[in-house]
Structure 1
């Protein structure tokens, strides 16, 4: 086992050391990749060392340098050194993160890291913190808590009686909401037709006056979904004004990446009033730069959070007291993902998190300026780490050329009926030189 894990660490380190120089993505034939992993199911066992080497050889042609300094797609960064090493330890320790009986260490790490996260993000210290898989699970869990609360206030036990015959719940959300909100509503039984859409302003932030209009047009239990960090523009809803407009409605904030703006003094004003919401969703594997399978859901009412999510079974030990683990997340048996989060926060500290967010925002503005100077149209006010870039009718073709070129990687998107290159600067390793090199490559390819 010792030699095997040492070899795995060596292979992983070799990959990380290659990221700055290798093409970000390479054309990979899926049939060839599958053949590398394929063949008939072996009849006999294989030595673990041989399996490891076969896996490394089969995967190498299809690995994308998402952890590298010039990957600007999907708002993801590469895992920090301490977080990566902690995840290796977590795999080696093989802890089940359901409750403190199964792993006292995992429970303690999540308890401490959760408190640190709430402090950084400007959330109430008394809020619950669940360590989930990502933004989808965080939104679903937060909205499940919202569903429980607004129906309980109306005298309905949704966990016992379901939605059949229940009072109608109004779900008020921006036309610019993320698609995971709609999927959460599907999974929770509301359906997407439950959404009462609210207009958004020119940068994608919710129109508070229209929010007031929509809310005034109806009555009954209501959930209002807000956004911190529009996935295209980075714009943040006016949380304080929306809270005032929403009155007694449950306020849920989808802050998958934008919630991290609260940790940086230069951008914290964008999230003024964030503490006034009832639930919040956030990702760790985005701007905190921890390994994937890491997100957070916070709830201002821990008892409501647990009532919506927790369950009891006779064979489970340690049940009864609300835990920040299995009682607040949708999974029972799960990896102890809090170790990597704790390690990232311990490595960076408060100043390091602020610097990471601030640097990515500065690099995004640098990216936008370089491309604008080269003749591109920038489609948004660059307030965080998102940049929309248009080259007119050539935009989609240029997106594919950039991806094939390998200097950097970014995706395309549609914003207000137009196609754009979408740049997300989220990685801790990205430098000014990486931005300049990438912008030059984009302009070179656009010129062709």
Structure 2
């Protein structure tokens, strides 16, 4: 099959998949999952052909997908890909650009610079900041953590690039008791042993308590959260960042989904966040872009550019080239779908998207309380944390609702006991989808 015919068939299969997305179960049934055994074949001696490979992928792969691109998926703060962002991704794949610098791709470098400027605008963060488009919140945390450690050591007179870590002054890390696992992973990979992390006590909502904040100094990186993963709560940024400023510590904010509250009527929960040194957020969560699109933002643009510099004798570029702001040298221009989403939605569209999900979360919480379920959080954002009596009953009710196909949501643990977490972030989700799941939960609880 010729290249263009193959691409056309892939597009047709993709259209058929999306055309039925609202009818797909949120999680594939057992028959579809069993069908995946076909992919476990031995490595073929002879090539099987592109058309046959595509057919196999669609016939056996499509039924076994989670419908996270659909309206009834309420797990893990996953947004469905906006049509504009998905279409931009498809065109970007056809371009097949290496988005490392202007020399490699003038269009990628130009659009990603615009996307960076727009992000600082809509999130109202310091306009002088550097913006790197990375693969994930984990990768972007690694990027910001690198700049933080290198900068703190430089203030102490230590040349990290030349001398590395052996013999260097110790850098301390203070994290919340409810710190996200991606932050823990990044810190572990960077050699900050889990036993050496300094835990900041939290209140009943999962926020760091400023009155019990551990001592900070000029050798400290303080991690704060914009959107605790279970409750959706925000650390009290004003007193915490003021304390860090007095100590000359570095402040990083993990805002994978919660940072987008700054673009909505819920902005007040982020007051003071602009005083931090670095921030991370995801595109695939509340901006509803395809996966592989996260953002690292660093107030000190020079610090990030020097830390991530990847200039070679055969490939030099400007300090703000993406290869000098992210972990990757060769990279896809993942800022393009983010640009497409922002341009299509505009300031009002982003605000409406975030506000709608927050409003629906509040409605859902009220409905579940009326139905006799225990809503454990204040629902300040888009997260609804639920328990139904003891651990066994909580698990049983969740399982019953998942069996109905009314929606998919995940297990969690809150304050040592089982719960489940319902997240609203998909542009496809309408009120009737939320109401259907609420009714199923209430019915299961009463049953």
Measured after TM superposition, the shift of residue 356 of structure 1 is 0.3
CA distance in 1, matches of 2:11, 2:417: 45
Pick the aligned partner of 1:360 from 349, 357, 361: 357
Measured after TM superposition, the shift of residue 12 of structure 1 is 1.4
TM-score, normalised relative to structure 1:
0.95
Matched with 1:231 is: 229
When structure 1 is superposed on structure 2, of 2-11 and 276-285 the one drifting more is: 2-11
Corresponding position: 1:293 with 2:292: yes
**Does the Cα contact within 8 Å between 1:306 and 1:328 map onto a contact in 2?**
yes
Measured after TM superposition, the shift of residue 4 of structure 1 is 1.9
User: Unaligned 5+ residue runs, structure 1?
Assistant: none
When structure 1 is superposed on structure 2, of 10-19 and 128-137 the one drifting more is: 10-19
Q: Deviations over 1:235-259 (max 9, x none)?
A: 0112122111112111100000000
CA distance in 1, matches of 2:152, 2:294: 25
Measured after TM superposition, the shift of residue 43 of structure 1 is 2.4
Pick the aligned partner of 2:220 from 206, 222, 238: 222
- Rate the CA distance shift 1:58–1:252 in 2: closer, same or farther, 3 A: same
Is the partner of 1:215 in helix, strand or coil? coil
Matched with 2:434 is: 435
Pick the aligned partner of 1:77 from 76, 79, 93: 79
- Aligned ranges 1:134-283 → 2 under 5 Å: 134-211=136-213, 214-215=214-215, 219-247=217-245, 248-264=248-264, 266-283=265-282
Is the partner of 1:131 in helix, strand or coil? strand
Measured after TM superposition, the shift of residue 424 of structure 1 is 0.4
Number of aligned residue pairs: 441
**Does the Cα contact within 8 Å between 1:110 and 1:324 map onto a contact in 2?**
no
Is the partner of 2:323 in helix, strand or coil? coil
Matched with 1:60 is: 62
Matched with 2:415 is: 416
Is the partner of 1:297 in helix, strand or coil? strand
Measured after TM superposition, the shift of residue 338 of structure 1 is 1.5
CA distance in 2, matches of 1:105, 1:360: 34
**Does the Cα contact within 8 Å between 1:77 and 1:289 map onto a contact in 2?**
yes
Corresponding position: 1:346 with 2:363: no
User: Unaligned 5+ residue runs, structure 2?
Assistant: none
**Does the Cα contact within 8 Å between 2:32 and 2:60 map onto a contact in 1?**
no
**Does the Cα contact within 8 Å between 2:373 and 2:445 map onto a contact in 1?**
no
CA distance in 2, matches of 1:32, 1:382: 38
Q: Deviations over 1:238-291 (max 9, x none)?
A: 212211111211110000000000001x10111111211100010001000000
CA distance in 2, matches of 1:13, 1:200: 47
Pick the aligned partner of 2:49 from 47, 50, 54: 47
**Does the Cα contact within 8 Å between 1:376 and 1:390 map onto a contact in 2?**
yes
Measured after TM superposition, the shift of residue 220 of structure 1 is 4.6
**Does the Cα contact within 8 Å between 2:218 and 2:249 map onto a contact in 1?**
no
Measured after TM superposition, the shift of residue 201 of structure 1 is 1.5
Corresponding position: 1:89 with 2:82: no
Measured after TM superposition, the shift of residue 42 of structure 1 is 2.4
Corresponding position: 1:325 with 2:322: yes
Measured after TM superposition, the shift of residue 223 of structure 1 is 0.9
Is the partner of 2:421 in helix, strand or coil? strand
Corresponding position: 1:397 with 2:396: yes
- Aligned ranges 1:14-53 → 2 under 5 Å: 14-28=16-30, 32-53=34-55
Matched with 1:444 is: 443
**Does the Cα contact within 8 Å between 1:257 and 1:283 map onto a contact in 2?**
yes
Q: Deviations over 1:314-373 (max 9, x none)?
A: 33x2x1521341111111222211121111111100000000000000011111111111
- Aligned ranges 1:370-385 → 2 under 5 Å: 370-385=367-382
CA distance in 1, matches of 2:330, 2:171: 32
Corresponding position: 1:125 with 2:149: no
**Does the Cα contact within 8 Å between 1:26 and 1:406 map onto a contact in 2?**
no
